[in-house]
């Protein structure tokens, strides 16, 4: 079937929902999302959202902290824009019904995380993301101009290519006319024609064996834009969160928020020794790349499977009241954080790069915006500062919506786009082939393209990936489509981009560390 909408939004995390709410003022919006509306990284965000809201703090300090963390690759103008707009965005979220904790004086309670020189993280206990996601999803459900299709999977963007026209790579005249959308229940593919399309599909954590990201984070938007010949950048900067709960067999890994370290918890090796002071004078609150590499190093030196995060010396009552979600999770596996140290390991957490966009979140493809974790805005540079990501999603979703509304009238639907061609795709795929390749891919990325890289490991990863790529493309061409097969294909595209961009960077900077180029290049 063919459908026509003003705005097609792919993804229903903070970025997608915020855009939809804003754009619905002047147009009809369709949100497609591959699981339930609230499933995505947003729902799992614990620590909170950063903004300058206290007298001790200043825009300048938040800007500097972000630039320092980004290790020379942030776009200063973007950092300034986001930091200065943050307080207003927080007030808007509160107006929409989002709740942030207050202290005993009735003021917003601000916590602190790694790399921040001040307390500036607004939070809702340790379930900030859930509160944001549920509140915005409710607003979307109430909105008559927004339709939501759950369990629907965007397969590919529609461009001139689908009209049989040749499009050269990085061609500046590419335009997006919507997307092919797979209904995961009927297995039929609909053609959604849109005047403006927005990719808000989140991150890529499932490239790795250990990740904090939910199962939906498979880089679909980035892979789609790449296949449509849009510009992708900074993919080598994959952020590993230092502290996910070590609990073998559990996927995704449960996050232990950095705010717990901000609250006073300290890292120790298995024999109880503190070690972070050996790596950075900021100790346990050094930026994430430094803490994750330090943990990785200690585990390798000692042959341990994890290190400990020790909160046992903190006030037990305050601890449980501030971190109830973590406390309950740990109790469920027999760990009482008031008395027991928490076993933790680094886990793939966030992608700093993605679809290159400008200040209004426009991609290099006309009529196509990218927002949230899928985009590369210039805010994070080589390493994202904690709790700057929800902020980025909300700021850029607003900019994108304003820009899109200003240009909507210029576009019409591209009626000539053909419907999905089912020709030759009748074989039921063998699921075992897909799941096996998925595991192989995660093994390759974890072993060779993880926290510490080398030229040899990257080359080995590329060679191994090539085999899975060829096998999967062959399978894709003849199989009945499934979510798993499409996700595998997307992850392979995204893994390729991570490896190639890691190989192209002949230095170590931020989250990218290559033992063959341990120094940072002069800029």
- The residues carrying an active-site annotation are 288
44 binds, among ligand FAD, ligand SIN, none (CB under 5 to 8 A by kind): ligand FAD
Binder among 24, 30, 40, 284 for ligand FAD (CB under 6 A): 40
Burial of 428 per CB tally in 10 Å (0-12, 13-18, 19+): exposed
Residues between 355 and 384 that touch ligand FAD (CB under 6 A): 372-374
Compute the distance between CA of residue 307 and CA of residue 287 in angstroms, rounded to an integer: 18
Which tokens hold the place of 375?
Answer: 């985009």
Kindly write out the interface string for residues 281-310 of this chain, putting x where it contacts ligand SIN by CB under 6 A and - elsewhere.
Answer: ------------------------------
Q: Which is nearer to ligand SIN, 208 or 350 (CB)?
A: 350
**Is residue 146 close enough to count as binding ligand FAD by CB under 6 A?**
no
Residue of 372, 335, 336, 337 lying closest to 355 (CA atoms): 372
Q: Are 473 and 486 in contact (CB under 8 A)?
A: no
Among 389, 414, 437, 490, binds ligand SIN (CB under 6 A): 389
387 binding ligand SIN? (CB under 6 A): yes
One of 33, 130, 364, 493 touching ligand FAD (CB under 6 A): 33
The answer to whether 376 contacts ligand SIN (rule: CB under 6 A) is: no
> Which C-beta is closer to ligand SIN: that of 126 or that of 296?
126
Q: What is the DSSP letter of 280?
A: -
Nearest Cα neighbor of 26 from 138, 135, 178, 143 is 143
201 binds ligand FAD (CB under 6 A): yes
Cα-Cα-Cα-Cα dihedral sign, residues 8, 24, 150, 434: positive
Tell the smallest beta-carbon distance from residue 271 to ligand FAD (Å): 29
Collapse the DSSP code of 241 into the 3-class scheme (helix H, G, I; strand E, B; otherwise coil) and give the result: strand
Asked whether the bond before 106 is cis by omega within 30 degrees of 0, the reply is no
Count of residues that interact with ligand SIN, criterion CB under 6 A = 9
Beta-carbon-side half-sphere exposure of residue 481 (alpha carbons within 13 Å): 24
| Partner residues linked to 270 by β-bridges | none
Asked if residue 301 lies in contact with residue 336, where contact means CB atoms within 8 angstroms, the answer is no
Closest Cα to residue 71, out of 290, 357, 393, 261? 290
Closer residue to ligand FAD in complex, CB, 82/216: 216
Binding of ligand FAD by 184 (CB under 6 A)? no
Which x/- pattern, by CB under 6 A, does the window 44-83 give for ligand SIN? --xx------------------------------------
Residue 205 interacting with ligand SIN (CB under 6 A): no
Of ligand FAD, ligand SIN, none, which one does residue 39 interact with (CB within 5 to 8 Å by kind)? ligand FAD
How big, in percent rounded to 5, are the helix, strand and coil portions of the chain? 40, 20, 40
Q: Which does 13 bind (CB under 5 to 8 A by kind): ligand SIN, ligand FAD, none?
A: ligand FAD
Q: How far is the CB of 514 from ligand FAD (least distance, A)?
A: 25
Residues 464, 487: Cα–Cα separation, whole Å: 18
Cα–Cα dist 504/499, whole Å: 9
Q: Give CA–CA dist 400/487, Å, rounded.
A: 26
372 binding partner (options ligand SIN, ligand FAD, none; Cβ < 5 to 8 Å by kind): ligand FAD
Q: Select the span of 228-236, 255-263, 425-433, 463-471 touching ligand SIN (CB under 6 A).
A: 255-263
Binding positions for ligand FAD, rule: CB under 6 A: 10-16, 32-35, 39-42, 44-49, 128-129, 153-154, 200-202, 212-213, 216-217, 220, 255, 350, 372-374, 387-390, 393
Binding positions for ligand SIN, rule: CB under 6 A: 46-47, 257-259, 350, 386-387, 389
């Amino acid at each position: 079937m063919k459908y026509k909408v003003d705005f097609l939004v792919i993804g229903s995390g903070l970025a997608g929902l915020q855009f939809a709410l804003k754009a619905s003022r002047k147009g009809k919006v369709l949100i497609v999302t591959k699981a339930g509306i609230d499933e995505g990284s947003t729902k799992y965000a614990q620590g909170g959202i950063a903004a300058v809201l206290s007298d001790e703090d200043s825009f300048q300090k938040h800007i500097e902290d972000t630039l320092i963390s980004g290790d020379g690759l942030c776009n200063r103008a973007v950092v300034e824009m986001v930091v200065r707009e943050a307080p207003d965005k927080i007030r808007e979220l509160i107006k929409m019904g989002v709740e942030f904790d207050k202290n005993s004086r009735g003021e917003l309670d601000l916590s602190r995380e790694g790399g921040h020189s001040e307390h500036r993280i607004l939070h809702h206990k340790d379930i900030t993301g859930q509160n944001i996601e549920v509140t915005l999803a409710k607003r979307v459900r109430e909105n008559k101009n927004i339709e939501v299709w759950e369990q629907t999977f965007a397969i590919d963007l529609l461009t001139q290519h689908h009209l049989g026209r040749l499009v050269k790579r990085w061609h500046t005249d590419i335009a997006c006319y919507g997307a092919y959308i797979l209904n995961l229940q009927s297995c039929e593919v609909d053609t959604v024609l849109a005047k403006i399309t927005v990719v808000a599909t989140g991150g890529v954590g499932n490239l790795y064996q250990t990740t904090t990201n939910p199962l939906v984070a498979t880089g679909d938007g980035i892979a789609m834009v790449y296949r449509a010949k849009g510009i992708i950048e900074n993919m080598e900067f994959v952020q590993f969160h230092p502290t996910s709960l070590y609990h073998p067999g559990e996927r995704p890994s449960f996050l232990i928020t950095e705010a717990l370290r901000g609250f006073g918890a300290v890292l120790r090796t298995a024999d109880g020794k503190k070690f972070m002071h050996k790596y950075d004078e900021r100790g346990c609150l050094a930026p994430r790349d430094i803490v994750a590499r330090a943990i990785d190093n200690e585990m390798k030196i000692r042959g341990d499977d994890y290190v400990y995060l020790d909160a046992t010396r903190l006030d037990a009552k305050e601890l449980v009241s501030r971190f109830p979600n973590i406390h309950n999770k740990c109790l469920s596996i027999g760990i009482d954080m008031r008395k027991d140290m928490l076993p933790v390991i680094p886990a793939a957490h966030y992608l700093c790069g993605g679809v290159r966009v400008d200040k209004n979140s426009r991609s290099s493809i006309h009529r196509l915006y990218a927002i949230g974790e899928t985009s590369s805005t210039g805010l994070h540079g080589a390493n994202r500062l904690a709790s700057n990501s929800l902020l980025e999603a909300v700021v850029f979703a607003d900019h994108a919506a304003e820009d899109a509304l200003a240009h909507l009238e210029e576009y019409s639907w591209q009626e000539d786009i053909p419907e999905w061609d089912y020709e030759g795709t009748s074989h039921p795929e063998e699921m075992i082939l897909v799941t096996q390749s998925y595991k192989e891919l995660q093994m390759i990325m974890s072993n060779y393209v993880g926290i510490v890289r080398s030229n040899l490991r990257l080359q080995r990863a590329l060679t191994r990936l090539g085999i899975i790529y060829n096998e999967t493309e062959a399978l894709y061409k003849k199989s009945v489509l499934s979510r798993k097969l499409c996700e595998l294909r997307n992850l392979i595209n995204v893994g390729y981009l991570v490896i190639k961009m890691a190989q192209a960077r002949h230095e170590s900077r931020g989250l990218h560390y290559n033992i063959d180029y341990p120094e940072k290049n002069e800029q």
